[in-house]
């Protein structure tokens, strides 16, 4: 490389770097600086000594997470719900994206897109009351209009755990599928139109085009999105699991996740050591999961791995 | 075009950088302490006060008035108040933040005393009280009794000054007078919660669209109030009720295994099954005042204050703007180990603890200082139609007046010195209510303070178990025959026996030390 082209390349990357500065700063301030607080998870907090001066207490702060059989229930709920969300979420999002990409009228496609994204903008608290309007045992739509018309007995939804895995998945899909389809819509629009043209000339139908062209072309995007969501396998949308079931105790067996457990348990005692311990536990497991999943992908198809 | 694009991206980058930083700045609070600084040794005491009124942008005028008064009236004290008003939503966060960051905060009100003591946030002020807190202690002895500090004392250390107010609030039934007449029952025949079922049956028959009972507290039917009043239950320092004691038995028990608990749960279950109560009570956020406003409520009970055993008026009327409800005590007040835990504490990293106690001494015993904090400046923020009444000036109300913190009356100082906003008659009633403090029945374990630090893991787990079963049981939507055994088993798994044993151990030690 000549000197001038090197200079030019540096100049170019300098401009790119300058553009990245705000984002990097944001990451640094929001994600990296607060990380110093990790050590609080191993401290017995004493305010008169300050955070740094407090005594170390080893893994004592982690004990409460494993105190009862709740530990198993909340880990099971968190993981199973998230796996379901990842699986169904991906399927729905890709499905919607394929349908959307077939809409050629500009006005219609924008209208549908707006309609699909709207639920994502609605706060979970409001979603909770929308669900409540359906499921209220006395005045709700389901008990009055649907079950009543079918001649069935009303169900007291908020004390019957059995229905909630389905209800929660439905709510989550309604809220997020439209939004997550955007990425897929973008990648579909990036697929070379020539491929479809060639396929049509060879006599391939719509379904064949989808399975033979769209899906294989989408695969890297799908893998990347799934890998990214695996990192959050141990986290949960607090609003979904706390607000939507109206914090109903009778449903805890199917709605308790690590986040809600920590919130409920520590609201009363406000122990920041224990809260940090729970956060650290989630992050470490999430980190391990991403690394493992990525390693598996890299072994099979190196070009699709995240890193 | 290209230039335009790069300009745009620069602008966006800038905007992003700015928003990233904008969260970091903080508005510096106005300081009103400087005004009285004629003496070099005057010490500034920062008080974080929780307020339920609007917070004015600048209230240095009020603190200046207080500090000028203190400098004149108490020239030897050399203290100045720096008041910080904080709304209830941020209060807990703000005091914890001040603690962690080392910002000066000398006086504050812990919202959960036990946790604060366990994390060493409150200073032991026992050594300062005798010297600097004489007037305050005298006030508390006069209004409350000589055991006012005992709930804040742990192993000889005193962690705060109790809010000196009327704490006796009897469990009160509020009922719709017209409906009670309508079913032909006299209020004289209703004396306890057990008399209600028959009345409810009649009300339900005559007014099918009305709920006989709705809770005043979300997801709770307040059976704990009745358990305290009727069965003399002492909560022994925590509200999960996993280690309580009945009467003077000396034996700590898990409430949920007792017959007393079962008795009330069965009653609530019968109300639920008969349709006397809202069927979604265990999850709903709608409470009695909302049902009352829409005319769909017959009765509720709560610890609504009132000095009359029986009255044609009820707190519910004030909350809903009607006069349909009357009230009657249906149980008695029992002063247990948790009835008086609201206190003002000196923070453990305060640099000026003597000055803080001196200032508290003035706030608790000086009518002018206390009422200036509550009502502001005479003529601007309030007018005084009579000696103990302060009202907003003509044409102003709580939202338009320059300064008022009158809703803080329950969290600061001595209530007997506070003016009221209504009438001299109400002021006299308030004095009567304060008078009841001394005669109120006290638990034999009054003064015992539970230290949960050895069982914090168990307590956290128990809190979760209780939240899972308690609302459903006390609201009647769970079948007690199935749910109670499950509940008890889950509590055992979470370590309830350890907590009961620890409480028993501490209680035995306390009994031995106090007899």
Radius of gyration of chain A (CA): 24
Specify the DSSP class assigned to residue A154.
Answer: P
Distance CA B307, CA B172 (A): 11
Contact criterion met (CB < 8 Å) for B348 and A274 = no
Q: Is the pLDDT of residue B23 over 80?
A: no
Q: What is the CATH number of the domain that holds A215?
A: 1.10.3720.10
User: Residues A200, A281: contact at Cβ < 8 Å?
Assistant: no
A48 interface with B at CB cutoff 8 Å: yes
Which pLDDT tens digit goes with each residue over A192-203?
A: 989 999 999 998
Averaged pLDDT of chain B: 87
Q: Is the pLDDT of residue B32 over 60?
A: no
Distance CA B91, CA B105 (A): 13
Distance CA A258, CA A262 (A): 6
Distance CA B347, CA B109 (A): 10
Distances (CA, A) of B156 to A91, A92, B152, B355, B514: 65, 65, 10, 22, 12
Helices B60-73 and B367-375: crossing angle, nearest 10°? 180
Which pLDDT tens digit goes with each residue over B401-455?
A: 999 998 888 899 999 999 998 889 889 988 988 988 888 899 999 988 888 888 8
Q: Which residues of B touch A249 (CB under 8 A)?
A: 282, 467-472
Q: Write down the pLDDT at residue B84.
A: 94
Query: Exposure of B450 by Cβ count < 10 A (0-12 exposed, 13-18 middle, 19+ buried)?
Result: buried
Work out the pLDDT band at B195, boundaries 50, 70, 90: very high
Residue A144 lies in a domain: yes
Q: Tell which residue, A69, A177, A68, has the closest CA to residue A118.
A: A177
Which tokens in the block code for residue B168?
A: 């006796």
Instruction: For residue A64, give the nearest of B96, B119, B460 by CB distance.
Output: B460
Distances (CA, A) of A63 to A41, A74, B17, B119, B427: 11, 15, 40, 18, 52
Average pLDDT over residues A10-24: 88
Residue B345, beta-bridge partner list: B108
- CA nearest A250 in B: which residue? B468
Gap from A15 CA to chain B (nearest CA, Å) = 10
Coil, strand or helix: which one is A102? helix
Distance CA B396, CA B340 (A): 35
Which pLDDT tens digit goes with each residue over B268-309?
A: 999 999 999 998 888 888 889 889 988 899 999 988 767 788
A55 interface with B at CB cutoff 8 Å: no
Of B22 and A25, more confident: A25
Instruction: Annotate B31-73 with DSSP letters as a single string.
Output: --GGGGTTSTTPEEEEEEEE-SSPPPS--HHHHHHHHHHHHHH
Q: Write down the pLDDT at residue B15.
A: 46
Q: Is the pLDDT of residue B30 over 70?
A: no
Helices within A103-210 (DSSP H only): 106-121, 124-135, 141, 148-149, 164-189, 193-201, 206-209
Work out the pLDDT band at A3, boundaries 50, 70, 90: low
Q: Write down the pLDDT at residue A270.
A: 67
Contact criterion met (CB < 8 Å) for A29 and B20 = yes
Work out the pLDDT band at B320, boundaries 50, 70, 90: confident
Reported for B420-429, long-range contacts at CB under 8 A and 24+ positions apart, including other chains, are: B420/B388, B420/B389, B420/B390, B421/B389, B421/B390, B421/B391, B422/B389, B423/B386, B423/B389, B424/B386, B424/B387, B424/B388, B424/B389, B427/B388, B427/B389, B429/B307
Q: Is domain B172-221+277-329 in CATH 3.40.190.10, yes or no?
A: yes
Provide CB contacts within 8 A for A256, sequence distance 6+. Answer: A70, A73, A74, A77, A241, B464
Q: Write down the pLDDT at residue B40.
A: 53
In chain B, the percentage of residues whose pLDDT exceeds 90 is 57
Gap from B101 CA to chain A (nearest CA, Å) = 9
Q: Is the pLDDT of residue B52 over 90?
A: no
Distance CA B245, CA B254 (A): 8
- CA nearest B470 in A: which residue? A249
Q: Which residues of B touch A70 (CB under 8 A)?
A: 461, 464-465, 494
Q: Is the pLDDT of residue B33 over 60?
A: no
A242 interface with B at CB cutoff 8 Å: no
Helices within B313-352 (DSSP H only): 315-320
Q: Is the pLDDT of residue B8 over 80?
A: no
What is the number of alpha carbons within 13 Å of residue A132 lying toward its C-beta? 18
User: Residues B333, B443: contact at Cβ < 8 Å?
Assistant: no
Please state the domain count of chain A: 1
Distances (CA, A) of A198 to A98, A192, A203, A206, B321: 19, 11, 9, 13, 76
Distance CA A20, CA A17 (A): 5
Residue A72 lies in a domain: yes
User: Residues B251, B500: contact at Cβ < 8 Å?
Assistant: no
Residue A220 lies in a domain: yes
Work out the pLDDT band at B1, boundaries 50, 70, 90: very low
Q: Tell which residue, B354, B351, B345, has the closest CA to residue B129.
A: B354
Angle subtended at Cα B184 by Cα B178 and Cα B188, rounded to the nearest 5 degrees: 85
Distance CA B465, CA B477 (A): 17
Give the domain range for residue A191.
Answer: 63-304
Gap from B61 CA to chain A (nearest CA, Å) = 33
Q: Which residues of A touch B256 (CB under 8 A)?
A: none
Of B391 and A275, more confident: B391
Contact criterion met (CB < 8 Å) for A70 and B120 = no
Residue ranges, comma separated, of all CATH 3.40.190.10 domains in chain B are: 30-166+339-446, 172-221+277-329
A30 interface with B at CB cutoff 8 Å: yes
Which pLDDT tens digit goes with each residue over A217-276?
A: 999 899 888 888 887 888 888 999 999 998 888 888 899 898 888 888 777 666 778 888
What is the bridge-based pairing of β-strands B107-108 and B343-346? antiparallel
- CA nearest B282 in A: which residue? A248
Contact criterion met (CB < 8 Å) for B467 and A21 = no
Instruction: For residue B119, give the nearest of A45, A264, A268 by CB distance.
Output: A45
Q: Is domain B30-166+339-446 in CATH 3.30.70.260, yes or no?
A: no
User: Residues B389, B427: contact at Cβ < 8 Å?
Assistant: yes
Which pLDDT tens digit goes with each residue over A144-174?
A: 888 888 888 888 888 889 999 999 999 999 9
Query: Exposure of A30 by Cβ count < 10 A (0-12 exposed, 13-18 middle, 19+ buried)?
Result: exposed
Q: Is the pLDDT of residue B14 over 60?
A: no
- CA nearest A243 in B: which residue? B283
Q: Which residue has the tokens 């007690």?
A: B480
Gap from A25 CA to chain B (nearest CA, Å) = 8
Gap from B120 CA to chain A (nearest CA, Å) = 5
Residue A152 lies in a domain: yes
Distance CA A52, CA A44 (A): 10
Coil, strand or helix: which one is A145? helix
Gap from B183 CA to chain A (nearest CA, Å) = 26
Q: Write down the pLDDT at residue B123.
A: 93
Helix (H) / strand (E) element for A89: namely helix A70-102
A134 interface with B at CB cutoff 8 Å: no
């Amino acid at each position: 490389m000549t000197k001038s082209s090197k200079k030019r390349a540096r100049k170019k990357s300098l401009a790119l770097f300058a553009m990245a500065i705000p984002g990097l700063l944001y990451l640094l301030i929001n994600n990296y600086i607060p990380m110093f607080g990790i050590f609080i998870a191993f401290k017995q907090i004493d305010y008169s000594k300050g955070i740094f001066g407090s005594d170390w207490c080893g893994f004592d702060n982690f004990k409460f997470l494993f105190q009862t059989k709740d530990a198993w229930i909340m880990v099971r709920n968190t993981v199973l719900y998230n796996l379901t969300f990842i699986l169904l979420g991906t399927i729905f999002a890709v499905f919607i994206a394929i349908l959307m990409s077939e809409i050629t009228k500009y006005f219609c496609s924008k209208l549908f897109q707006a309609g699909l994204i709207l639920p994502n903008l609605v706060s979970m608290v409001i979603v909770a009351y929308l669900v409540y309007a359906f499921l209220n045992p006395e005045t709700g739509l389901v008990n009055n209009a649907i079950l009543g018309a079918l001649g069935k007995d009303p169900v007291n939804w908020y004390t019957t755990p059995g229905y909630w895995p389905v209800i929660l998945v439905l709510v989550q899909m309604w809220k997020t599928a439209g939004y997550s389809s955007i990425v897929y819509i973008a990648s579909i629009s990036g697929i070379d139109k020539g491929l479809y043209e060639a396929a049509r000339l060879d006599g391939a139908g719509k379904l064949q085009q989808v399975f033979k062209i769209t899906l294989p072309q989408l695969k890297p995007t799908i893998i990347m999105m799934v890998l990214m969501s695996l990192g959050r396998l141990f986290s949960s949308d607090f609003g979904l699991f706390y607000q939507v079931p109206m914090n109903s105790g009778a449903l805890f067996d199917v709605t308790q996740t690590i986040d809600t457990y920590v919130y409920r348990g520590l609201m009363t005692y406000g122990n920041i050591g224990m809260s940090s311990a729970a956060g650290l536990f989630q992050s470490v497991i999430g980190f391990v999961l991403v690394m493992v999943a990525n390693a598996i992908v890299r072994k099979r198809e190196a070009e699709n791995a995240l890193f | 075009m290209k230039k335009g694009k790069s300009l745009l991206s620069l602008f966006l980058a800038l905007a992003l950088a700015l928003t990233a930083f904008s969260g970091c700045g903080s508005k510096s609070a106005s300081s009103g302490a400087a005004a009285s600084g004629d003496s070099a040794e005057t010490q500034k005491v920062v008080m974080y006060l929780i307020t339920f009124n609007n917070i004015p942008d600048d209230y240095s005028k009020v603190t200046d008035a207080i500090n000028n008064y203190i400098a004149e009236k108490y020239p030897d004290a050399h203290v100045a108040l720096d008041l910080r008003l904080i709304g209830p939503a941020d209060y807990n966060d703000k005091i914890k933040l001040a603690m962690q960051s080392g910002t000066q905060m000398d006086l504050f009100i812990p919202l959960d005393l036990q946790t604060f003591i366990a994390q060493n946030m409150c200073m032991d002020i026992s050594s300062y009280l005798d010297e600097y807190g004489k007037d305050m202690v005298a006030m508390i002895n006069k209004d409350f009794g000589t055991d006012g500090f005992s709930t804040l004392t742990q192993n000889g250390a005193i962690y705060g000054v109790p809010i000196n107010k009327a704490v006796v609030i009897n469990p009160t039934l509020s009922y719709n007078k017209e409906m009670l007449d309508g079913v032909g029952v006299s209020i004289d025949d209703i004396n306890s919660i057990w008399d209600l079922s028959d009345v409810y049956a009649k009300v339900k028959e005559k007014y099918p669209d009305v709920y006989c009972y709705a809770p005043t507290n979300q997801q709770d039917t307040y059976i704990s109030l009745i358990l305290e009043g009727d069965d003399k239950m002492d909560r022994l320092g925590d509200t999960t009720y996993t280690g309580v004691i009945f009467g003077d038995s000396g034996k700590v028990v898990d409430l949920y295994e007792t017959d007393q608990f079962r008795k009330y749960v069965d009653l609530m279950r019968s109300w639920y099954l008969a349709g006397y109560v809202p069927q979604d009570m265990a999850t709903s956020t709608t409470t009695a005042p909302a049902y009352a406003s829409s005319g769909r409520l017959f009765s509720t009970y709560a610890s609504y204050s009132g000095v009359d055993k029986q009255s044609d008026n009820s707190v519910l009327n004030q909350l809903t703007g009607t006069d349909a409800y009357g009230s009657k005590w249906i149980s008695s007040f029992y002063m247990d180990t948790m009835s008086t835990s609201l206190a003002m504490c000196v923070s453990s990293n305060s640099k000026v603890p003597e000055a803080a106690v001196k200032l508290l001494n003035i706030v608790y015993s000086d009518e002018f200082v206390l009422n200036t904090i509550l009502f502001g400046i005479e003529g601007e923020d309030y007018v005084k139609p009579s000696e103990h009444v302060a009202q907003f000036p003509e044409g102003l109300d709580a939202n338009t007046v320059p300064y008022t913190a009158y809703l803080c009356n329950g969290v600061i100082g001595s209530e007997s010195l506070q003016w009221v906003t209504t009438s001299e008659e109400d002021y006299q009633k308030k004095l009567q209510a304060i008078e009841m403090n001394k005669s109120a029945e006290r638990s034999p374990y009054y003064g015992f303070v539970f230290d949960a630090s050895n069982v914090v893991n168990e307590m956290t787990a128990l809190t979760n178990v209780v939240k899972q079963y308690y609302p459903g049981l006390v609201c009647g939507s769970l079948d007690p025959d199935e749910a109670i055994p499950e509940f008890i088993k889950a509590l055992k798994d979470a370590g309830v026996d350890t907590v009961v044993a620890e409480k028993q151990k501490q209680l035995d030690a306390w009994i031995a030390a106090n007899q």
